[in-house]
Amino acid sequence: MTHPSRETWLWLIHRGSAVAMLPFVAGHLILMMLTVRSGLSAADILGRTQGSVSLVAYYGFFVLFVSVHAALGLRTELAEKLGWRGNRLDLAAATMGLLLLATGGRAVWAVYSVSA
Amino acid sequence: MLDVAVWRGTTEGSFEHFDVPRSDSQTVLDVVTYIQRHLDTTLAYRFSCRVGVCGSCAMKVNGVARWTCRTHVSSVAGDGHLEIAPLDHLPRLRDLVCDMTPFFEKWTRAGGAFVPFEPPETTVKRGFAAIDPLSQKRLEAEAGIECIGCGVCYSECDTVGRLPEYLGPAALNRAWTLTNDERDGRGASRLRAVAGDAGCHSCHTQMSCSERCPKRLTPAASIAGLKRASALAALRGKL
């Protein structure tokens, strides 16, 4: 068994990112319900998101927390299900985290910058 | 009559069927003993105290790990069928006997030995440590101290099954009782022993250990305590 400090920090970050996501998930669901119920079209929505710094900040942090949380969760699964250890395990988790961050960030940027 | 299927062999093997007469207050250990004494003397199994103290006779009964000496047949074999197998996640030596070495090696790895915080001669001069029986630490230690090392929790733990290096509920429960023992001096080094990549943070809190513990202990709560303690130590830079 190795790296007690690192494993404990990763556990803390995993649990911390889960807690941090709670308000973002709740806010996202409420926003979606309000949007759908108010009958806004895609063009209407993009018209409101374009250039909105607060929206970029909100979803930017959301994507960041999701990327960290999912990558660490996947790291645990790879260790348990496939028996991966060491650099291969950390590299796989980091790759997944960066992939989520890149694709999520691209989506956030799209609704910020694309005009309706 | 009971229809009893008993595991024969090691990792490779099969269930052998025996007919065993029912009797009042019959335990599963009584059934196994009857088979060994009257039907097949080559059957290997392990027991000692027969009264739920030693933890030697744990086996899987109808798919669930139990202490067989305190498990009445009437509570598990309502339909007259019993299936008895050795515990999971341990090497099978023969028939119902497991090799408990990996189980107890993990107690050692988890810092399961008491390490006094001062030399014994100092304690002798100073007198017995005065521990408030209602202090939080004493209560935490009290909650887990009655473990008999039967291995039921270890057999029922899915994480042990997926991650064979995982220390397991019993060893971590032991580490938590010592972490709360005010006479123990191992401190952060024990937390380091249990917080690595196959330690307390690997627990998924499925709580099979607490559900199945025949002593009604809650190893899951002990593991949660170790998670908290190691996290606090990490935040303070002492891990």
Residue B69 has pLDDT above 80, yes or no: yes
Answer whether residue A96 shows pLDDT above 70: yes
Please count the other Cβ atoms lying within 10 Å of the Cβ belonging to residue B15. Answer: 13
**Angle at CA A86, nearest 5°, toward B160 and B206?**
25
Closest in B192, B193, B201 to A11, CB measured: B201
Least CB–CB distance from B199: residue in A1, A12, A81: A1
Q: Is the pLDDT of residue B62 over 80?
A: yes
Residues B27 and B111 in one domain: no
Q: What CATH number does residue B164 fall under?
A: 1.10.1060.10
ipTM of this model? Answer: 0.86
Cβ pairs A/B, distance under 8 A: 54
On whether both B175 and B64 belong to a single domain, the answer is no
Count the domains in chain B: 2
> What is the rounded distance in angstroms from the CA atom of residue A71 to the CA atom of residue A23?
20
Q: How confident is the model at residue A116 (pLDDT cuts 50, 70, 90)?
A: low
pLDDT in tens, B85-115: 999 999 999 999 999 999 999 999 999 999 9
**Residues of A in Cβ contact (< 8 Å) with B239:** 4-5, 8
Q: What are the φ and ψ backbone dihedral angles of B20, each rounded to 5 degrees?
A: -125, 130
Contact B193 A7 (CB under 8 A): no
Residues B70 and B59 in one domain: yes
| Domain at B50, CATH number | 3.10.20.30
Closest CA to B83 of B28, B128, B124, B161: B28
Question: Is B231 in Cβ contact with A85 (below 8 Å)?
Answer: no
* pLDDT given for residue B122 in this prediction: 87
Query: Residues B109, B227: one domain?
Result: yes
Taking each helix axis from N to C end, the angle separating B219-235 and B169-179, rounded to the nearest 10 degrees, works out to 60
B172 in contact with chain A, both atoms CB, cutoff 8 A = no
B35 lies within 8 A of chain A by CB: no
**β partners of residue A65:** none
What are the φ/ψ torsions at residue B238 (nearest 5 degrees)?
Answer: -115, 20
Statement: residue A74 has pLDDT above 90 = yes
Domain shared by B157 and B93, yes or no? no
Structural contact between residues B72 and B64, judged by C-beta atoms closer than 8 angstroms: no
- pLDDT at residue number B158: 96
pLDDT tens for B115-168 read 998 888 888 888 888 899 999 999 999 999 999 999 999 999 999 999 999 999
Q: Are residues B56 and B30 in the same domain?
A: yes
B89 and B115 together in one domain:
no
Interface test with B, best of A1, A75, A77, A80 (most B CBs within 10 A): A1
**Residue A1's pLDDT is what?**
55
Nearest residue on chain B to A16, alpha-carbon basis: B231
- Amino acid letter, residue A40: L
Domain of B42 in residue numbering reads as 2-98
Is pLDDT of B226 > 70?
yes
Spatial separation of the C-alpha atoms in residues B88 and B106, rounded to whole Å: 16
Instruction: Output the pLDDT for position B129.
Output: 83
Indicate the average pLDDT of chain A: 93
Instruction: Indicate whether B19 and B86 sit together in one domain.
Output: yes
Render pLDDT for A12-64 as a digit per residue (tens, 0 to 9): 999 999 999 999 999 999 999 998 898 888 888 888 889 999 999 999 999 99
- Say yes or no: B59 and B153 in one domain: no
Question: What's the pLDDT score for residue B95?
Answer: 98
Q: Does the CB of B226 have a partner CB in chain A at under 8 Å?
A: no
User: Chain A residues within 8 A (CB-CB) of chain B?
Assistant: 1-5, 7-12, 76, 79-81, 85
Instruction: Considering only the beta carbons, identify the residue of A4, A80, A81 that sits closest to B195.
Output: A4
Say if residue B220 is in the same domain as residue B144: yes
Q: Are residues B123 and B222 in the same domain?
A: yes
Collect all residues of chain B within an 8 Å Cβ-Cβ radius of residue A10. Answer: 201
pLDDT at B227 over 70: yes
Q: Angle formed by the axes of helices B219-235 and B136-144, to 10°?
A: 140
Residues B125 and B25 in one domain: no
Q: Once rounded to an integer, what is the mean pLDDT over residues B222-226?
A: 98
